[in-house]
Amino acid sequence: MSPRLTLDTLSSLPPDVTVPRYDRKTLETGIVHIGLGAFHRAHQAVYTEDAMNREAGPWGICGVSLRSPETRDALAPQDGLYTVAVRDAGGERLRVVGSVIESLVAPEDPAAVLERLTRPTVRIVTVTVTEKGYCHEPATGALNESHPGILHDLANPDRPQTLPGFLVEALDRRRRAGIPAFTVLSCDNLPTNGEVAAGILRRFAELRDPELGRWIEENVACPSSMVDRIVPATTDEDRASVARRLGAEDAWPVMTEPFSQWVIEDRFPAGRPAWELEGAQMVEDVRPFELMKLRLLNGSHSCIAYLGYLAGYETVSQTVSDPAFRRLIGRLMDEEVTPTLSMPDGVDLTGYKAALLERFSNPALKHRTWQIAMDGTQKLPQRLLGAIRERLAAGASIDRLALGVAAWMRYATGTDERGQPIDVRDPMAARLAELAAEAGPDAERLATALFGLSAVFGDDLPRDPRFTGPVTDALRHLYAQGARATVEAMG
Ligand code: CS2
C-alpha cells in the first residue's frame, strides 16, 4: 500500500504533479470558508493557492463543514493537502493544493468555529453552502423566519447551526471587541448572492438586536460573485486512479474540468488575495454574468438532469450525446434564454454557449444526472423561473423552459418511467411525495398541486395561464410519451 499524501510525502510525488510553492508551515488563517465541499476545493481554494504561489500572503483557509465530518476526516490525516484532477478527453493533469490549512466540523465544535471567525487575521469569509444553506425563501430571497435552524440559532447564539447563526454571532463578537468586520463572499449559485447574504444576515441580526442589525448593515461588505467550474462527486474509482498516478493515497481528491471562471464584485474593505492575477474577473456589476451562467449553464443542467434521468441516462455527457437532447438544449439556450440576457460589450455569448455544449460533453467527467437533480425546489427559481417571468412579460414563448419545469414535476413524483423508485433529495422531499401521492399519475392534478408551492413559484406564476398551460401540456406529454420522445418532438 502506498503512503498517505502528507507534507512529508510531497517531495516524492511524480515530477509532473504540481505542488504548493509557498511555505505551507508558516501560513496563517486569513479566510474562513463555510461549506467545505468538492466545489470549494476545486475552485476558490485553487485561485487562492495560485495567488499564494505567486506571492506568499496571509491567506490560509480554515474550511468549515456545517454538517458532516467526512471532509475533515479525509483531510486532517493528510495535513489538509488534497489533489485536484483536471480531466478532459485529452487526459488528466494532477496538482496538490495546500491552501486549506485546517478543517473544522461545526456541529462537533461550534465554539472553535466562532473562535476562528473572530480572529483579527481573518478578513474574508467565503461561502458555498448551496441554495438551501441560506435558510431563505427561494421565491423571494428573504430569510425564512420559521426555519427550524434559524429558530434554534436565535435561541442559542453561542451554539449556532446555520450560516446566519455563525456569521452574526461572530460579527457581534468582533463588534464588541473592536475588531473590524470580515467581508462575506457568497460563491453559491444564486442571483445577487451577495445581496441575498446581506439580507439574511441583516434580518437575522435584527431579530436578535436591532442595533446589531444596523451595525452589520453599515459594516459588513457582501460582494456578489459568479462562480463556475463543473465538479462531479468523487467516486471510489476516482480515488483509486488518483492514488495510482500519485503513488500516494489521497482519501478525497476532487475531479474537475479545465474550465474555471470567477467574476467578483470588487468590494473588499479588509483586503483580499490578488485573485485577479490568477484569472478572476473583478467587476463593478456581477449581475449580467450571474444571469448568463445561472440561466444558460445551470438552467440547461437542470433540464438535462430531469429529462436525462427520466430518459434513462446516467450522466450529463451521455445525455447530450443524444442528438435530440443536444438540439433541445441548443434551442432552449438560443431561442428562450439568450433573449433574456443583456451582456456588457466584449462578452461573446455565441462562443460561451458553444463552449458549454462542449463542457457538457466532456467524456472524462462522470457527472450524474441524479446529482444535479437534487434540491430542485431551491434551484428552479433562478435557473428557469426568472427567465420564464421575463419571457412572459415580453409576450414570448416558453415551451422549452416549461418542459424543464414539467420534467422536474415528473421527477419529483419519485417514480420513474419504468415504475422504479427515484431517490428524490430535496429539503421539501416529504411535501413533494405527499402532493404526488394525492395527485396520482395525472398531469393536470399533479401540476396544480405543485403550482401551490409558493416558496418555489411565487404567487404570480400559478395565476398566469400562459405559464400553467405550457407546463401542464408538457407534463401531459411526458406522461403519455416519456421523456425521450418528448425531447425528440420538441428539440
Ligand atoms: C450543477 C452545478 O449540481 C448542480 O446543480 O448545475 O453544480 C454546476 O455544475 C456548477 O454550477 C458549475 O459551475
Residue 297 shares a structural domain with residue 259: no
Position 274, amino acid: A
In angstroms, the CA 248 to CA 10 distance is: 9
How many Cβ atoms sit within 10 Å of the Cβ of residue 171? Answer: 24
| Mean pLDDT, the chain, integer | 97
Q: State the CATH number of the domain containing residue 242.
A: 3.40.50.720
Together in a domain, 312 and 267: no
Residue written as grid cell 456589476: 285
Binned at pLDDT 50, 70 and 90, residue 25 comes out as: confident
475 within a domain of the structure (yes/no): yes
Model pLDDT for residues 320-333, shown as the tens digit of each residue: 999 999 999 999 99
Cα torsion angle, 351, 357, 361, 367, sign: positive
Question: Residue 260 belongs to what domain range?
Answer: 7-283
Write the DSSP string, 191-260: TTHHHHHHHHHHHHHHHH-HHHHHHHHHH-----EEEE---PPP-HHHHHHHHHHHTSB-SS-EEE-S--
CB 250 within 8 A of CB 279: no
Do residue 252 and residue 334 come from a single domain?
Answer: no
Query: Is any atom of ligand 1 closer than 6 Å to the C-beta of 290?
Result: no
Same domain, 316 and 238: no
Query: pLDDT of 204-256, one tens digit each?
Result: 999 999 999 999 999 999 999 999 999 999 999 999 999 999 999 999 999 99
Mode of pairing for the β-strands spanning 100-105 and 281-283: unpaired
Question: Residue 461's closest CA among 374, 401, 376?
Answer: 401
Ligand 1 pocket test: which of 189, 291, 360 has the largest number of ligand atoms within 8 Å of its C-beta?
Answer: 189
Are 320 and 311 contacting, i.e. CB atoms less than 8 angstroms apart? no
Question: How far is it, in rounded angstroms, from Cα 219 to Cα 175?
Answer: 9
Q: Is the same domain home to 202 and 327? A: no
Q: Whole-angstrom Cα distance, residue 488 to residue 403?
A: 12
Exposed, middle or buried by CB within 10 Å (0-12, 13-18, 19+), for 396? Answer: middle
Last residue of one domain, picked from the residues 283, 318, 351 = 283
| Atom 1 of ligand 1: nearest residue by CA position | 372
Q: 2 in a domain, yes or no?
A: no
Assess whether 260 and 296 both reside in one domain.
Answer: no
Structural domain ending residue among the three candidates 251, 283, 315: 283
Does the pLDDT at position 444 exceed 90? yes
In terms of domains, do 200 and 330 share one? no
Q: Same domain for 331 and 473? A: yes
What CATH code is carried by the domain that includes residue 345?
Answer: 1.10.1040.10
Strand-pair category, 91-97 with 82-88: antiparallel
Q: Is residue 1 part of a domain?
A: no
Residue pair 345/249 in contact (Cβ under 8 Å)? The answer is no
Q: What is the DSSP letter of 5?
A: P
Is 228 domain-assigned?
yes
Spatial separation of the C-alpha atoms in residues 446 and 441, rounded to whole Å: 7
Looking at the structure of the chain, the number of domains it has is 2
User: Has this prediction a pTM greater than 0.75?
Assistant: yes
Q: Residue 230 C-alpha to ligand 1 middle, in angstroms? A: 6
CB 43 near ligand 1, within 6 Å: no
The CB of 130 under 6 Å from ligand 1? The reply is no
Q: What is the pLDDT of residues 96-112, one digit of tens each?
A: 999 999 999 999 999 99
CB-CB contact of 304 with 316 (8 Å): yes
The verdict on 222 and 291 lying in the same domain is no
Residue after which a domain boundary falls, among 283, 308, 329: 283
Residue nearest to atom 6 of ligand 1 (CA): 298
DSSP string, 54-68: HS--S-EEEEEESS-
Question: Which of 298, 302, 356 maximizes ligand 1 atoms within 8 Å of its Cβ, making it the mutation to test the pocket?
Answer: 298
- Are residues 385 and 269 both part of a single domain? no
Domain check: are 414 and 469 in the same one? yes
